[in-house]
Structure 1
Amino acid sequence: MPRTQADKEREDERRAKTTYDLFRVRLEKLERNIEKPVLIPERPIEKGPAPPPDFVRNVVGSSAAAGSADFHIFRNNRKRENDRLDWLEKQDKKSKMDEEYEERISEKQRLAEERTNKKRAKRLRKKEREKQRKKSGKAKQTEDSDSDESDSDSDNDGASPAPEKSSPTGNEPASKAGDK
């Protein structure tokens, strides 16, 4: 009887003694045919417990005695209800944790955005100051060159004294520092 490749693979999976061997066999199977797409199952939708019954059966009347199965019925009903309440509490806790997480993430993003905006504004202010310095520096240079020309003209005329320059120490004007 001819054995197919699928039969061999199933037999190898059955022979696997450990989970490691089983995964090794499955991985080898995947590696043999790389072009074949692998089916990755979607995560199953989480189902909650059944809703509580609208009508409770087997209600014992006031004149009736408890039967032999009544306790077991009561116990199962109580267990189902407790499981349902536990599930609801877990869902509530999970939703609260998700909300807190989203709040923390949004707060961190808001703070990061504020820091970014603050640093951007600081960079722009620094850039503007540099532009103003360059502009004022060029203006001073043109004024200085104009004043130097006028000073040289005035020196020749002797009409106005030359502007005082500061000393290397910066405490006194250079003319006074040179007099000492």
Structure 2
Amino acid sequence: MSEPGPESIPTSADPRSRRPVKRRAVSPRSEHANQVDSLFRDPNKALKLPDASKPKTASSLPAPPEIVANVQGSSAGAGSGEFHVYKASRRREYERLRLMQDEVHREKAEDEWQKKREETKRKDEEKTEKNRKRRDKRKAAKKNNAGKTGGLMG
């Protein structure tokens, strides 16, 4: 037999073995556990958080090419490799158009919201002014009544 050693240790994990350690597939749970352990190892170390991703806009995408050489559709004499090129360019163009449309919708919604906000503000100010006039009128009437009754009794 070979050298005495614990039977429960696999040969690759035995420190006396020259065989490389088998690398197992890492599960998401164990990967996350390793990340947390590494964070707790040095609590004084500053955390580096990734920047917030910016939403895509039509201006952030590259502009479409000025001149398209060898324009072909999805078929019509295109080779098998040309189909994927066509699909990719079509996908990029549809994405660009969708982003432009979203921008227009967003601007339109923002304008409508601003108009609605201004209208609400104007109505509130009108109502406040109306109530203020009514209050002032009541105060003036109260003051006149108090002055008349105060003068007769006093």
Aligned partners of 1:48 and 1:21: how far apart in 2? 37
Aligned to 2:27: 17
Name which one, 1 or 2, has greater alpha-carbon Rg: 1
Cα distance change, pair 15–132 in 1 and its aligned pair in 2 (3 A): farther
Check the 8 A contact 1:48/1:87 in 2, yes or no.
Answer: no
How far does the alpha carbon of each residue in 1:139-160 deviate from its partner, in whole angstroms, 9 at most, with x for none? 32145437xxxxxxxxxxxxxx
Shift of 1:16: 5.2
Shift of 1:87: 1.7
Alignment of 1:85 onto 2:93: yes
Aligned to 1:63: none
Aligned partners of 1:58 and 1:99: how far apart in 2? 34
Structure 1 stretches of 4+ with a deviation exceeding 6 A read none
Secondary structure of the 2:120 match is helix
58, 61, 65: which one aligns with 1:52: 65
Cα distance change, pair 115–28 in 1 and its aligned pair in 2 (3 A): farther
- Which is bigger in relative contact order (C-alpha 8 A, separation at least 6)? 2
Aligned partners of 2:127 and 2:89: how far apart in 1? 57
Alignment of 1:26 onto 2:26: no
Cα distance change, pair 136–81 in 1 and its aligned pair in 2 (3 A): same
Aligned partners of 1:41 and 1:144: how far apart in 2? 79
The TM-score with structure 1 as length reference comes to 0.50
Unaligned regions of 5+ residues in structure 2, if any?
1-23
Cα distance change, pair 135–55 in 1 and its aligned pair in 2 (3 A): closer
Alignment of 1:38 onto 2:51: no
Unaligned regions of 5+ residues in structure 1, if any?
1-13, 60-65, 147-180
Check the 8 A contact 1:50/1:84 in 2, yes or no.
Answer: no
Aligned partners of 1:54 and 1:124: how far apart in 2? 67
What count of residue pairs does the alignment treat as equivalent?
123
The TM-score with structure 2 as length reference comes to 0.57
Aligned partners of 2:87 and 2:45: how far apart in 1? 50
How far does the alpha carbon of each residue in 1:111-169 deviate from its partner, in whole angstroms, 9 at most, with x for none? 331233123213312331232122212232145437xxxxxxxxxxxxxxxxxxxxxxx
Aligned partners of 2:71 and 2:100: how far apart in 1? 32
Shift of 1:49: 5.4
Point out the structure with the larger helix share: 1
Aligned to 1:178: none
Check the 8 A contact 1:16/1:22 in 2, yes or no.
Answer: yes
How far does the alpha carbon of each residue in 1:69-114 deviate from its partner, in whole angstroms, 9 at most, with x for none? x523542443244223302320222112211220232133213312
107, 127, 137: which one aligns with 1:119: 127
Instruction: Write the mapping of 1:67-146 to structure 2, written as runs, cut at 5 A.
Output: 70-72=78-80, 74-145=82-153
State the percentage of identical aligned residues.
15
Aligned-residue RMSD, C-alpha: 3.5
